[in-house]
Amino acid sequence: MMAVGEFIAWELINISLEFTATAWVGLPRWLVAVVAVNLVTHPALVFIVSAFGRSPLFVLTCEAAVVCVEAFLLMLAYGFVRWRSLMVLSLLMNCASYVIGALLTH
């Protein structure tokens, strides 16, 4: 299990990466939205991966679930009319943080 300080640091890095990758969207309160969805999904992802293993297939499956959950939460905030663009934004956010995280930890 990771220490609290390490968890907070990774949370801040994750939020920073995901916001930076999508800062151009121009939606109102976008930073708040990115922080909110990450505070819901990232701790759960860290707990699940820590508890059940870090095999690449398992982690990617969990990341796919996170993309769907975050997209749904964004749709709740911005409306289901934008579902395609919010799904793409969620995918982009999570790809950016996954790739950078993988590079930083290997």
Contact indicator for 70, 51 with CB cutoff of 8 Å: no
Q: Which domain holds residue 89?
A: 4-105
Number of domains in the chain: 1
Distances (CA, A) of 86 to 53, 54, 71, 75: 29, 27, 6, 7
Of the pLDDT bands very low, low, confident and very high (cuts 50, 70, 90), residue 1 is low
Tens of pLDDT along 31-65?
999 999 999 999 999 999 999 998 989 999 999 99
The model's pLDDT over 78-102, given as tens digits with 9 standing for 90+, comes to 999 999 999 999 999 999 999 988 8
